[in-house]
Structure 1
Amino acid sequence: MVKELTSGNPSKLILSYSVPLLIGNIFQQLYSMVDTIIVGKSIGVDALAAVGATGGLSFLVIGFATGLTSGFAVIAAQKFGAKDMDGLRHSVGISIILSVFTTIVLTALSLLASKPLLKLMNTPDNIIGDSQKFINIIFMGMACTMFYNMIACILRAIGDSKTPLYFLIVASILNVILDLVFILVFHMGVEGAAWATVISQGVAGALCLIYAMKKYSILKLTKKDFKYDSKFAWKHWKLGLPMALQFSVTAIGVLVLQSSLNLFGSDKIAAYTAASKVEQLLTQPAGTFGITMANYAGQNLGAGRIDRVKEGVKKCSMITLIFAVAASIILLLFGRPLTSLFVDGNKIAVFESAQTYLTVIAIFLPVLNMLFVYRNVLQGIGRSFMPFMAGVFELIARTICAFTLPTMIGFTGICLAGPIAWFRQQYH
């Protein structure tokens, strides 16, 4: 259902909006983890490393698409908060046009650049073949990813955080089934895991669209809603591009770091991949509260309630810090058993490296959680330049760390690069 975030207790609104979104994000992360678990357990460490070596490339392109659609949806949230339904529908129409154009360009460029980038990242010879197969399928399915993200962001902009959750649950179950069928029955290897992800996202997007068209009359578009208005389109680009570039700038830092990590060989890559999946699962609340605050801030800005934006920031900061402490405790106490989901028990060196990563991350999680809140609030009120510049400083920090720390303290230097970059963002 549609949910206005412009009146009522901010804490209750933030939590009630966030819970379905959090469950959806966890399910999305779980089906990503299932890919990794099945690949690591049934195919082996090298296959796990091959999938993990594509993480930076995937983040670079998919992150750009996600940031773009999130930025477009800020306009929709502002129009909804101002009760301008004609403006809302026009925003959705423009977002669709811009998303289709972006999908075509991104798909073509990413497929052309995948192999050269994998080589540039020092991807080991024993895994580069599988890495390219996996990431090319993910890139070919760009339309499915963009489609789902766009519909989900629009629904969240009008306060409906539950519908994307329901269809993500369906997609998650489908992804697990397809993983098992493609990898264990048809022996498709890493390609099977990639196809399972793409097909599942496509199904989630299609279901979201059908539901939105039938459920919400305010989203029923007509021909006039697709009328291209260059000034209005530019407003979308002004919010979407900085958010997209922020993801991409961060991803470039990840790529640089991945290049340094790849020099340590398959075991370290596999350890980093497994530990990263555990980290991503436990940092879902931070990302969820960030998305919530972007829409909360957007709606309240549209309604002229800056006072509620400030109050919401204070309340959400307290909530997210509680989640950060809880996640840190879990990482410190249960890091190894969680890592064992991805790697066979006889890989002692892999476990030790993974625990090193998780220990470092656990110490600095509160910083990351606060970043999500403040960065997304700025984006929600249309001030996306500062978050973008924070991403630039993160890129600089990651790059410096990638070329210096590993030579001094080895794999631990790789683990410290992220937290140091978070501090640079927080400072700026």
Structure 2
Amino acid sequence: MNRVKNMTMGSPAKLIISFAVPLIIANLGQQMYMIVDTMIVGRGIGVEALAAVGATDWSYWLALWVIQALTQGFAISISQSFGEGSQVRIKKTVAMSIWLCLGIGIVMTVICLMAGRSLLLILQTPENIFESASAYLLTMYSGILVVMAYNMAAAVLRSFGDGKTPLIAIVIAAAANIVLDLLFVLVFRWGVTGAAVATVLAQLFAFLYCLSVLRKMELMKLVREDWRADRNIINRQCSLGLPLALQHILIAVGGMILQYAINQQGVVFIAGFTATNKIYGLLESSAISVGYAVTTYVAQNYGAGLYSRIRSGLKSSVLITGGLSVLVSCIMILGGRFVLKLFIDDASSSAAEVLDISYHYLFIMSCLLSTLYWLYAFRNTLQGLGKTFAPFVSGVMEFFARVSAAVFFTRFFGEKALFFAEPGAWMAALLVLIVVCIKSVRELPQTDRSDLR
């Protein structure tokens, strides 16, 4: 229980930062082992293998983001119940979330395995990398239940203010993934399939560690009554999780349309984008971590009726994300080319061209990174308040921005338009979120619930 953090007392900025730092390290660790995964594929197998993995990005993210959105949505009411101090409701909500994750995870696994190859065909994945891409994607889809289990366990821990356990879990997963990558890809010669198997097993180890911590918490000692279906709680969880899932489905579908446009540019262009997309996780990881901290902070204080602290928390989160974005941008602009070289086989005749494409894309995203970071500050504040419609609308805006870049602007600007698809999506979403978030926070009661007692 010493890892549980009550965020209804103390400095908002210090609480958000202290909670976010372990998550930042955890997310960076997760991104690093995914990067190592890609490095081993790119340098150990070749440019075509790198392109094959990259061609599956948006198809896999479609499933991954739905899982992350659902579990994050389910955790909102857990945080709010924690702020209220209602242990009975916490246990019941956790139990219903587990049932929902199990059912949704099974359905998603079946659908994704049936549709995986068709998705790659629709995206016109080049023939010379199609079979490798298909093998990688279907293996990743096979592990959906494992990914769902880890994300739900981590979301529950974060809702209690515990950012340390997910950090340790990712360290365990990272070490396992690297060892298994080297074994499966370079020793057993399983190709891209080996890389996918290593990633799924690493997530399993992360889940098992989180589970071992949860089982020791008094809050998680569930009894038979907790597991009985509660329609009101299930409806509440669905009302929080499903809009976020739909939002991410739209974002992913827009990305898949973008991937279709990228695939038309050939294997070298795909490989260039793949290298940068792997670093994109590093660009975004700090924003995601602060976003999780903001959601937990806002949800706990909303549950406790401490509305003045929510207003202070929003101001702090905007300043924190703005400062972080500048730091990350500088690091990537100065050191990005060196990092990108780690993904590319120097012996390849197209290595220089792939590197130029990758760095050009990375430079553009780095220059506009503050937009992405502020997006998380405003979006996660709304989610902590239990407002999921505006984030859904922001997902619609992201969808249209990406599709416009892929379908419309490429006709006038060619492949150059593809480099601005992501930053354009961030800007479109941010415009919606700023307006709605500020309005929602201003409409909160001016007097805290505790002052009325």
For residues 182-202 of structure 1, what are the alpha-carbon distances to aligned partners after superposition, in whole Å with 9 as ceiling and x for unaligned?
001100000000000001101
Match of 1:283 in 2: 284
For 1:420 and 1:171, the matched residues in 2 are separated by: 33
Task: Report SS of the residue matched to 1:371.
Answer: helix
For 1:164 and 1:398, the matched residues in 2 are separated by: 32
Task: Report SS of the residue matched to 1:345.
Answer: coil
CA-CA distance at 1:427 after TM superposition:
1.6
CA-CA distance at 1:242 after TM superposition:
1.0
For 2:328 and 2:147, the matched residues in 1 are separated by: 28
Asked if the contact 1:357–1:412 (Cα under 8 Å) also holds between the matched residues in 2, the reply is no
4 and 24 in structure 1: CA distance in 2 versus 1, 3 angstrom threshold: same
Gap regions ≥5 residues in structure 2? 433-453
Match of 2:356 in 1: 352
Match of 2:374 in 1: 370
CA-CA distance at 1:58 after TM superposition:
0.9
For 1:226 and 1:181, the matched residues in 2 are separated by: 41
Calculate the aligned-residue CA RMSD, in Å.
Answer: 0.9
CA-CA distance at 1:273 after TM superposition:
0.7
Match of 1:51 in 2: 53
Which aligned pairs between 1:302-381 and structure 2 lie closer than 5 A? 302-345=303-346, 347-381=351-385
For 1:336 and 1:23, the matched residues in 2 are separated by: 22
For 1:405 and 1:178, the matched residues in 2 are separated by: 42
Work out the number of aligned pairs and report it: 427
AA partner of residue 408 (structure 2): T
TM-score by length of 2: 0.93
AA partner of residue 85 (structure 1): Q
Match of 1:7 in 2: 9
CA-CA distance at 1:225 after TM superposition:
0.7
For 1:205 and 1:98, the matched residues in 2 are separated by: 17
- Residue 130 (structure 1) aligned to one of 129, 132, 138: 132
CA-CA distance at 1:407 after TM superposition:
3.0
AA partner of residue 354 (structure 1): S
For 1:246 and 1:296, the matched residues in 2 are separated by: 22
AA partner of residue 90 (structure 1): K
Moved more, 324-333 or 406-415: 406-415
Match of 1:225 in 2: 226
Which aligned pairs between 1:6-405 and structure 2 lie closer than 5 A? 6-214=8-216, 216-345=217-346, 347-405=351-409
CA-CA distance at 1:286 after TM superposition:
0.8
CA-CA distance at 1:260 after TM superposition:
0.2
For residues 39-59 of structure 1, what are the alpha-carbon distances to aligned partners after superposition, in whole Å with 9 as ceiling and x for unaligned?
000000000000011110111
For residues 182-235 of structure 1, what are the alpha-carbon distances to aligned partners after superposition, in whole Å with 9 as ceiling and x for unaligned?
001100000000000001101110121122102x11111111111101121000
Question: Is residue 419 of structure 2 the alignment partner of residue 418 of structure 1?
Answer: no
AA partner of residue 49 (structure 2): A
For residues 315-347 of structure 1, what are the alpha-carbon distances to aligned partners after superposition, in whole Å with 9 as ceiling and x for unaligned?
111111111111211222222111001002351
CA-CA distance at 1:277 after TM superposition:
1.4
CA-CA distance at 1:83 after TM superposition:
0.2
Task: Report SS of the residue matched to 2:5.
Answer: coil
For 2:106 and 2:287, the matched residues in 1 are separated by: 31
Moved more, 63-72 or 401-410: 401-410
Asked if the contact 1:71–1:236 (Cα under 8 Å) also holds between the matched residues in 2, the reply is yes
Asked if the contact 1:283–1:327 (Cα under 8 Å) also holds between the matched residues in 2, the reply is no
For 1:418 and 1:279, the matched residues in 2 are separated by: 10
CA-CA distance at 1:360 after TM superposition:
1.1
AA partner of residue 90 (structure 2): L
For 1:406 and 1:266, the matched residues in 2 are separated by: 18
Task: Report SS of the residue matched to 1:410.
Answer: helix
For 1:244 and 1:162, the matched residues in 2 are separated by: 26
For 1:255 and 1:5, the matched residues in 2 are separated by: 38
Task: Report SS of the residue matched to 2:162.
Answer: coil
AA partner of residue 397 (structure 1): A
For 1:34 and 1:411, the matched residues in 2 are separated by: 28
For 1:205 and 1:247, the matched residues in 2 are separated by: 23
For 1:183 and 1:88, the matched residues in 2 are separated by: 43
Gap regions ≥5 residues in structure 1? none
TM-score by length of 1: 0.98
Asked if the contact 1:328–1:363 (Cα under 8 Å) also holds between the matched residues in 2, the reply is yes
282 and 422 in structure 1: CA distance in 2 versus 1, 3 angstrom threshold: closer
For 2:75 and 2:329, the matched residues in 1 are separated by: 32
CA-CA distance at 1:391 after TM superposition:
0.2
For 1:412 and 1:222, the matched residues in 2 are separated by: 58
